[in-house]
Amino acid sequence: MTKHSAIPLRHPVMIVAMMLVATMTISTGESTWAAEGPLEISPLLAQAEQDRIDAIERAMPSTVCVFVPGGGGGGSGVLISPDGYALTNFHVSSPAGNYMRCGLSDGNIYDAVIVGIDPVGDLALIRLLGRDDFPYATLADSQKASAGDWCMVIGNPFLLASNLQPTVTWGILSGVNRYQYPSGTLLEYADCLQTDASINPGNSGGPLYDAEGRLLGIVGRASFEKRGRVNVGVGYAISIKQAKNFLGYLHSGRVVDHATLGATVATDPDGSVRVSNILESSDAYRRGLRYSAEIIEIDGRVVHTANDVQNVIATLPSGWRVKLVYRYEGNTVETLVRLMSVHGQDELLEKMAGAMPPPPPRETPKKDSDEDKQEEDDGDDAGPEVAEGDVPAAVLAVYEERRGFANYFANQQRQNEFIDALRNQFPKGNAGQTRTWSIQGKTSNDDKVFIYVSDDRLSMVVGDTPIEPETKSDLYESVEAKSFAGAIPALDAWRRMLDKGPKKFGETIYWGSMPLAGERPLRDCVVGSDGEFEIRWLSHPENKQVECIEVFADRDEDPAELWIHRDSDDADAAPTRLEIRYGVESIFEMTVDSWEVLENESPDGDDKDDTDAAKPAPQDQAEQQG
């Protein structure tokens, strides 16, 4: 007896079959269909319908109707956190600039401020103001979505939601992993979801939900009949996986860019993906990738075609470090690659400015007349009336303009969170307190290690090898030479950041979130400039402990990576091991036996105690002990 697989309850064939059985029977001796008695709905069919209604009710409250003040357009969005953060499209937010009005299905309208934008991936993060208990969507795993899955689109097509009640359309996923070329614009849709659920102008930026009401993606594009404005059943949504990759970058308030491998690829006739060209300045080249190498896997995803490679790379932010598996000259190599930016910053800002429409006039809408009502029926200028005037004070309070940023205020908030967390973990301290660190331990070969870090002296002794850089140039050379002494500038930068804070350390920004050595969860990254050095602090998103400090002496070379290992997540937990890596190679590791923090009484040095004199330098300690 052949075993057949069960058809899922929501499969369209099953639903149609149940409808036919419930409503019609075949008359005896006749070939015609005839109704028999009162209509009875199958309990299974009734439950399937109720499930759909419940899913819509769960999803509806998180849907946002976006309106540009002054009647300059609008679109849709979706709330993703209780404190009001919502995703929409860049092409929806750009006409509004820094301020827009957003309505929810509960009938309330809220001011919203721009936070961060991704003009290449057509994403924008906005924040609705006035509450800290907004309804928000549950995020699905879009990588598990398949063609044929039920889905729904909820939004504001043709800005019809003037009563703040969004439109719901239902359909299936027609395809997954679609790629849409920029076509002469910045906007690139990679690895996106295709649906036949009706999408029209105004749905842009809104949510694509699965059958359970979980967020699958952000609606962005649709194919229209002969460039018209009528949906023909081919719409596209940015996957929520891509959106999650960029969330940390968007929270930074920056204008963010996408990644490139620094190489081009082509699908080989034998079905493999081969490198057709590669930049020698790329990290991929430093990791051994060469012309004709076969790429097998990127960021944990197996690739079979050039389209697969583009689908993966185009969903990743610039600067990420991801896993790469390739085969070259018979050898399979598993490595880590730092991805490059598609654009230079000035180039990105220039292209973005060219893609943005002029700001709309912020005028008070006229009173309804017959002509106005006819125009409103056309759907282009519908929506709640917005009074003329300046940007609301509540928006201005959380917005700051700065080149390269959509909202620099958002970045300052993240910098403050970083320094607060840094000062509340070992080694703790307060702003303005100069510190001296004395660290002792040993290597795996039992060589004793002494590290001394203060304003006046930096030194390190490993076994019989003393290193005492006297100038910034000496520190720079230690990183260029890939020496274990790269630990010194990393520790000194950490110490001075505690003392000075981001504003006084140097040009410092919260960069976003990224993998640590290709691994999730994504770590928060803060970048600071320190003379010739660029310093990056990578911290765990939950316990906020700094796990790695990277010191770049040259953008085209591997940085010195100081890895800080602890045995506990407690804020008071002291590091138990320190490790130095360059590229994918660990060159030095020590266990930490003691880490003393000596604080001077006066930050300006007028009343400094004799800490440096009282505490022997590492070389002196080495002599005393051996």
Positive or negative, the CA dihedral 591, 594, 599, 604 is: negative
204, 459, 483, 513: which one is catalytic? 204
Among residues 92, 125, 202, which one has the least CA distance to residue 156?
202
Instruction: State the DSSP code for 312.
Output: H
Among residues 388, 488, 496, which one has the least CA distance to residue 439?
488
The SS3 of residue 613 is helix
Q: Residue type for 521, please?
A: P
| Catalytic residue flag (residue 602) | no
> CA 28, CA 44: separation in Å to the nearest integer?
27
| Contact present, 493 and 502 (Cβ < 8 Å) | no
Give 362-399 as a DSSP string: --PPPPP-HHHHHHHHHTSS-S-----SSPPHHHHTT-
- For the chain, the maximum distance between any two Cα atoms, rounded to a whole number of angstroms, is 111
| Catalytic residue flag (residue 204) | yes
The SS3 of residue 101 is strand
Among residues 423, 459, 450, which one has the least CA distance to residue 599?
423
- Give phi and psi for 191, each to the nearest 5: 55, 35
91, 251, 258, 343: which one is catalytic? 91
| Catalytic residue flag (residue 558) | no
> CA 69, CA 95: separation in Å to the nearest integer?
10
> CA 469, CA 458: separation in Å to the nearest integer?
6
> CA 291, CA 304: separation in Å to the nearest integer?
17
Stated as kind and residue range, the H or E segment containing 599 is: strand 585-599
Give 486-497 as a DSSP string: GHHHHHHHHHHH
Q: Is the peptide bond before 521 cis (omega within 30 degrees of 0)?
A: yes
User: What residues act catalytically?
Assistant: 91, 122, 204
